[in-house]
Amino acid sequence: MARAQFEQALPHADVSQMVAERLNFPERAVIVAVPLRRDDGTIQIFAGYRVQHSTVLGPTKGGIRYDAGVSLGECAALASWMTWKCALLRLPYGGSKGGIRCDPRALSPRELERLTRRFTSELVREIGPQTDIPAPDMATNEQTMAWMMDTYSMLVGHAVPEVVTGKPISIGGSIFRREATGAGVVMTAERACHRLGFELAERRCIVQGFGNVGGVAASELHDKGATVIAISDISGGLHAPDGLDIPDLHAYVVEHGSLAGYEHGERMTNEEILELPCDVLFVAAREDQLTGENAGRVQAKLIVEGANGPTTIEADAIFAERGIPVVPDILANAGGVTVSYFEWVQDLGRLFWDRDEIRGRLADKMIDASDRVWSVSEEKGISLRLSALVAAIREVGGALETRGIYP
């Protein structure tokens, strides 16, 4: 999907053949074997990956995920999306992505720590504050980043908080980092609604996903006066035509771990909530949720991608034909990497900002990127996804042309 999207955008980007060829391939890919001593004393070997797509604009930046589906190809695709995301937001980064192929739910907390520390030591020559900066992703979190930061610091002999982002605040993490992706999703949605001639407040919204992105987005929507009529998580979906009580849902999930058993609303599947009538549909779960099979039944006026790659190429074509705008992932969910950049800058300077300053800086970045994407879309007569990619490719391509090829 990442390759197809890149090839669709190229004819509109007006870059040279050299740039097109260079950006078609990652600069570096690493596969490592990660041995783990299990709690019962047995040894198990896991495959670990790190792909760095482009260093033209600066060090690479991207998440670490623990999942049974992690592969070299997946990491390469996600790394390229990170390049476009960083370029679109005009951050001095290229994209990277990595992870370990494992089932994290089958590992104890102590095993996860040992696995993380060994993986970090295997990557010590590949990562660093001026080379490649990891962050949390699927099934990793602040604690994972703390273990990575501590392991790297022990290996080099001094504390290096800027080697990762998404850390706990106690060791150099940034205020507002956890909420940044979800908040950024709503910022771009609000800007899109304004472009389309209506306001987000009082609109009927659906949020697929109630994790770090969807949960925060739902709270932001609630605070802005929008009505969230349906939501879902791993346990399934909930629908209430008059609106769900988002604060109560959050309190329930904190106590019970998921939406399972929540009684206020009609139960339905994750797939069913995508087809309910609404003004704005937020897709904040996993990839490949909107496909050629269900795109024709979606009844939203606007779709906003909180997850990476939730809309397939086939679904994109159907939405374009039906006139339903899609705010693409590389724009909509770029709030996380933007505040990660702020965290990195704060760590480098050992000078930290308050919540209001970070939120204001994030809003400036998201609005600027949104306006440039809409402008390219209107200028070229292309979808928002293609215009976002075109804007990003132009940023990276311009830097590559200026720097040239060494030697």
Provide the pLDDT for residue 212.
86
**Are 131 and 216 members of one domain?**
no
Provide the pLDDT for residue 287.
85
- Domain boundary (151, 169, 187) is at 169
- Average pLDDT, integer, range 225-254: 95
**Quick check: is 365 catalytic?**
no
**Are 210 and 328 members of one domain?**
yes
Dihedral angle computed from the Cα positions of residues 232, 191, 309 and 214, in that order, rounded to the nearest 10 degrees: -20
Residue 197: which residues within 8 A CB-CB, separation 6 or more?
none
**Are 325 and 193 members of one domain?**
yes
Q: Is 132 a domain residue?
A: yes
Select from 32, 60, 83 the least CA-distant residue to 165. Answer: 60
**Are 165 and 291 members of one domain?**
no
Q: Is 119 a domain residue?
A: yes
Largest interatomic CA distance in the chain: 65
* CATH code (residue 182): 3.40.50.720
Q: CA-CA distance, 341 to 347, in Å (whole number)? A: 10
Long-range pairs for 375-382: beta carbons < 8 A, 24 or more residues apart: 380/12, 382/12
pLDDT band, residue 15 (cuts 50/70/90): very high
Select from 97, 100, 113 the least CA-distant residue to 34. Answer: 100
The active-site residue, picked from 97, 167, 224, 380, is 97
pLDDT tens for 104-161 read 999 999 999 999 999 999 999 999 999 999 999 889 999 999 999 999 999 999 999 9
* CATH code (residue 36): 3.40.50.10860
Provide the pLDDT for residue 202.
83
Number of domains in the chain: 2
- Average pLDDT, integer, range 78-82: 94
At 275, list the tokens: 């087809």
**Are 110 and 210 members of one domain?**
no
Residue numbers of the domain that contains 83: 26-169
**Are 43 and 140 members of one domain?**
yes
Helical packing angle, 384-403 and 72-88, nearest 10°: 90
pLDDT at 268 over 90: yes
Provide the pLDDT for residue 263.
87
169 HSE (CA, 13 A, CB side): 9
Q: Is 271 a domain residue?
A: yes
Q: CA-CA distance, 214 to 219, in Å (whole number)? A: 9
**Are 108 and 190 members of one domain?**
no
- Domain boundary (332, 357, 392) is at 332
pLDDT tens for 178-199 read 899 999 999 999 999 999 999 9
pTM to 2 decimals?
Answer: 0.94
**Are 194 and 109 members of one domain?**
no
pLDDT at 80 over 90: yes
Per cent of the chain over pLDDT 70 is 100
pLDDT tens for 308-320 read 889 999 999 999 9
**Are 54 and 155 members of one domain?**
yes
- Please work out, in degrees rounded to the nearest 5, the angle formed at the alpha carbon of residue 363 by the alpha carbons of 94 and 171: 65
Per-residue CA distances from 391 to 136, 190, 388 (Å)? 26, 20, 5
Query: Which of helix, strand or coil describes residue 112?
Result: helix
- Domain boundary (310, 332, 354) is at 332
Handedness of CA 287, 291, 294, 300 (dihedral sign): positive
Residue 108: which residues within 8 A CB-CB, separation 6 or more?
39
